Structure 1
Amino acid sequence: MREFIVEADGGSRGNPGPAGYGAVVSDAATGETLREAAEYLGVVTNNVAEYSGLLAGLRAARELDPEATVHVRMDSKLVVEQMSGRWKIKHPGIKPLAAEAARILPPGRVTYEWIPREQNKHADRLANEAMDAGVRGEVGVSPARTESRAWGRSASDSRAALDTPEARPVMPEPSGLPEPSGPPGDAAAGAARARAAAAVAGVAGADAGAGDAPAGHAPAGKAAADLRAAQAVAAPGTETAAARTPAPSATPSSGWAPADMGPPATFVLLRHGETPLTPQKRFSGSGGSDPSLSDIGREQAERTAAHLARRGTVQAIVASPLARTRETAGIVAARLGLDVAVDDGLRETDFGAWEGLTFAEVRERHPGDLNAWLSSPDAEPTGGGESFAATASRIAAARDRLTAAYAGRTVLLVTHVTPIKTFVRLALGAPPEALFRMELSAASLSAVAYYADGNASVRLFNETSHLR
């Protein structure tokens, strides 16, 4: 399945005033610009122009490949938060635009990310060119590289154009940003939080690529239903007493003031590349040997580095102290021109006497301990290894420490299967056994965004298209 990046922007010189939008569709794997779109809208508000840019970008992506996934990047906090479902849409002129955007592609195939204005220069330039052309009275197709970029209306017919769907006249938005709503699916999220708070913290699986219990060995239970309920955004930190953060209520309290929370701290979670133990599916934690990357693992790291360089969003890199993660992080850092910080909280679980063994070997030698480990996150691997409850407490503490240190920034965390699965589980508010139902490949990318109000949003999981 192809993945596209849509960058969109819109502007109005006055609110309302002469307005235009720009949109760019690029290939997520290569960074190649596939389609540009720009149009003069006539006299509309800034928000309508921004939504018009989003609509144009999504339509262009659908025309290129109706089965593709799309990651939208915009510097409009309003559009990103409303389309992500975190803010309510109150203005009657914006509701139909948002509804139309949601219908272009299935919701599960579109994700949204806020970016600073300086990272949205391409779409911003197109929007300004459209506005300039409209003010000059130019009509028709612009000298663009693609067929989809047109100025549209002239200044003389902008008033007539206000009756068209593309340029709906609306009153200016009230001063300040709209009040954010509670997270999508508040009732389900609240139920998930209650279940998670009652459960003992931890993950319910080991490193599937380096010794984890395969999904086929997961204990039976209600995890599937819990996971469906936990798809709503849940507040991180509610799972452990050691790192508990009060969850926001579905309805803001009277003392909560509407405000721009600013960009989230976004963790791009990279599992290290393959080691000699990975294809053999042996337990490889922090308590045994510390293998380096294999030749395949180093190639995976190089491909990941090239992919992240094309995206251009990573601002800092933090790695686990183990050799395989530091080596992976070093390859990426060299390509991005960044330094690597090390955080001990990101290390893999200590699997005790199971280190270096396959799942079958552990089942043969330590069947009682293995059964206990599969049944309870408090159980430790044979020989004094680390329980998944202890791992979860450690990851929650690292999460809180790193979100405070990198507020509003995009950080690459180079770590292992158990930590990455734990970051995702805690963000979803899912029960411990949910981790048995996650597959995580070597050198895969996942992403979780953490907001100032305590909410988290899982943006990506086990993405491997950059390795092909």
Structure 2
Amino acid sequence: MSDRPARRLVVEADGGSRGNPGPAGYGALVRDADTGAVLAERAGAIGRATNNVAEYQGLIAGLRAAADLAPDADVEVRMDSKLVVEQMSGRWKIKHPAMRPLATQAADVAREFPRVRYTWIPRERNAHADRLANEAMDAAAQGRTWEPPEPQSPEPVPHTAPTTHRLSGWMAPPAPPTTTVLLRHGQTPMSVEKRFSGTVDATLTDIGQAQALAVAGRLRDVPFDVVYCSQLKRARQTADALGRDYLIDDDLRETDFGTWETLTFGEVRQRFPDELNAWLADPSVAPPGGESILATIRRVTAVRDRILAAHPGERILIVSHVTPIKTLTLLALDASPAVLYRLHLDLVSISTIDWYSDGPAVLRSFNDGIHAAHLVEPGQ
């Protein structure tokens, strides 16, 4: 008997219909519980059905995907359907006759694992599965079938292996990528003092203005098809130094830190210790009167989708802030929200992402600030 600890997998699943009942679809994915890497995706259009039927179909698909990867794994199922979670946990009775065979089917797959537990999560924490389900619902509404690409392997995916992604320079893309060059604004008094500065409309310092001019020189000969900018003054002042026309998009603003605005981390730790600990531990928790990390991720995802749809195959400069730029990075890497706390982004740094029409994205550079390194002390 092996003493090796059981592999731990997370299944995230969702489903829905347009009309309830109506054109329905489900989405599910499997993550490595330790790394957060996405190991498999499942989705399908199931014709006309109810939300609950689609949610159960998502659960079944996710459990089957996990069984294909590691039938001896410990599995945690996370869903925003209270009904499915409570019924599968045995706390609620299954009264609707259409649900019983689906619950039985899910239970049969679940018995293949040593342990399966079910966890309810808020909808905003189930965004990946929700996106897959909505794409499947779109297919159902058009009367077609649809499934996302999946990693293909005759053997279970190794413990540390992520899902397959484009290998930059190896795989010929179906079309030229849309390239986003992400530029953080220059120094402000708030950044010098390391204060929470989300919606506070701080202006650039003299060093910040010099940083903006330095990055303008770096980008002078780069041909951009369009420039987008946050509405906040520090971002607009940085964009102004570039000498280019730009479009304002409010969804590129920084996270709203609520009552923590203008405070240092130490001051927040002293005045709001419980709230700060909760915020650091759970991306769905917002600062008092502010915006959660997950809310920021949803907002930035929406603006990303709008910009990519409007400018396919173009080169786009985006002047923004720490959290939106980190969010675009984690979206490109298909990473968990915890990655935001592990990335450092310098003032007027440049990051570049290629977005491909067939789904994958490639992070080409991150936090490149060599053009302004001489203008500020390390850490500022």
TM-score interval for Structure 1 and Structure 2 normalised by the shorter chain = 0.5 to 0.7
Aligned to 1:418: 323
Offset of residue 264 of structure 1: 0.9
SS of the aligned residue for 2:284 comes to coil
SS of the aligned residue for 1:461 comes to strand
Offset of residue 376 of structure 1: 0.3
Find the partner of 1:305 among 212, 216, 220: 216
Between the aligned partners of 1:426 and 1:345, the Cα distance in structure 2 is 16
Between the aligned partners of 1:353 and 1:440, the Cα distance in structure 2 is 24
Aligned to 1:360: 266
Aligned to 1:248: 149
Find the partner of 2:237 among 327, 336, 339: 327
Aligned to 1:397: 302
Matched-pair contact (CA < 8 Å) for 1:239–1:426: no
Between the aligned partners of 1:262 and 1:465, the Cα distance in structure 2 is 31
Aligned to 2:282: 376
Aligned to 2:196: 283
TM-score, structure 1 normalization:
0.46
Between the aligned partners of 2:79 and 2:372, the Cα distance in structure 1 is 36
SS of the aligned residue for 2:228 comes to strand
In structure 2, relative to structure 1, the CA distance for the partners of 1:305 and 1:259 (3 Å cut) is: closer
Q: What are the superposed Cα offsets for residues 119-149 of structure 1, whole Å, 9 maximum, x if unpaired?
A: xxxxxxxxxxxxxxxxxxxxxxxxxxxxxxx
* Letter aligned with residue 371 of structure 1: N
1:387 matched to 2:292? The reply is: yes
Matched-pair contact (CA < 8 Å) for 2:251–2:300: yes
1:459 matched to 2:348? The reply is: no
Matched-pair contact (CA < 8 Å) for 1:264–1:451: yes
Q: What are the superposed Cα offsets for residues 425-463 of structure 1, whole Å, 9 maximum, x if unpaired?
A: 111111111111100011000111111112111111100
* Letter aligned with residue 287 of structure 2: P
Aligned to 1:272: 185
Between the aligned partners of 2:310 and 2:175, the Cα distance in structure 1 is 15
Aligned to 1:224: none
Offset of residue 385 of structure 1: 0.2
Aligned to 1:432: 337
Q: What are the superposed Cα offsets for residues 219-268 of structure 1, whole Å, 9 maximum, x if unpaired?
A: xxxxxxxxxxxxxxxxxx963736976753336xxxxxx99622111110
TM-score, structure 2 normalization:
0.56
Equivalenced residues, count: 231
Q: What are the superposed Cα offsets for residues 90-137 of structure 1, whole Å, 9 maximum, x if unpaired?
A: xxxxxxxxxxxxxxxxxxxxxxxxxxxxxxxxxxxxxxxxxxxxxxxx
Matched-pair contact (CA < 8 Å) for 1:347–1:415: yes
Between the aligned partners of 1:199 and 1:418, the Cα distance in structure 2 is 26
Aligned to 2:83: none
Between the aligned partners of 1:438 and 1:278, the Cα distance in structure 2 is 17
SS of the aligned residue for 1:239 comes to helix
Question: What are the within-5 Å matches in structure 2 for residues 89-108 of structure 1?
Answer: none
The runs of 5 or more residues in structure 2 that have no matched partner are: 1-35, 42-61, 63-74, 81-125, 136-146, 153-170, 374-380
SS of the aligned residue for 1:446 comes to strand
Between the aligned partners of 1:390 and 1:346, the Cα distance in structure 2 is 13
SS of the aligned residue for 2:307 comes to helix
SS of the aligned residue for 2:358 comes to coil
* Letter aligned with residue 130 of structure 2: A
Aligned identity (percent) is 45
1:340 matched to 2:340? The reply is: no
Indicate the RMSD between aligned Cα atoms, in angstroms: 2.9
Between the aligned partners of 2:205 and 2:129, the Cα distance in structure 1 is 36
Between the aligned partners of 2:149 and 2:181, the Cα distance in structure 1 is 24
Aligned to 1:239: 128
Aligned to 1:172: none
Matched-pair contact (CA < 8 Å) for 1:266–1:408: yes
Question: What are the within-5 Å matches in structure 2 for residues 71-220 of structure 1?
Answer: 190-191=38-39
Between the aligned partners of 2:313 and 2:330, the Cα distance in structure 1 is 22
* Letter aligned with residue 251 of structure 2: G
In structure 2, relative to structure 1, the CA distance for the partners of 1:444 and 1:199 (3 Å cut) is: farther
Find the partner of 2:206 among 295, 307, 317: 295
Larger Rg: 1 or 2?
Answer: 1
SS of the aligned residue for 2:352 comes to strand
Between the aligned partners of 1:423 and 1:199, the Cα distance in structure 2 is 24
Offset of residue 309 of structure 1: 1.2
Between the aligned partners of 2:319 and 2:150, the Cα distance in structure 1 is 33
Matched-pair contact (CA < 8 Å) for 2:40–2:151: no
Q: What are the superposed Cα offsets for residues 66-100 of structure 1, whole Å, 9 maximum, x if unpaired?
A: xxxxxxxxxxxxxxxxxxxxxxxxxxxxxxxxxxx
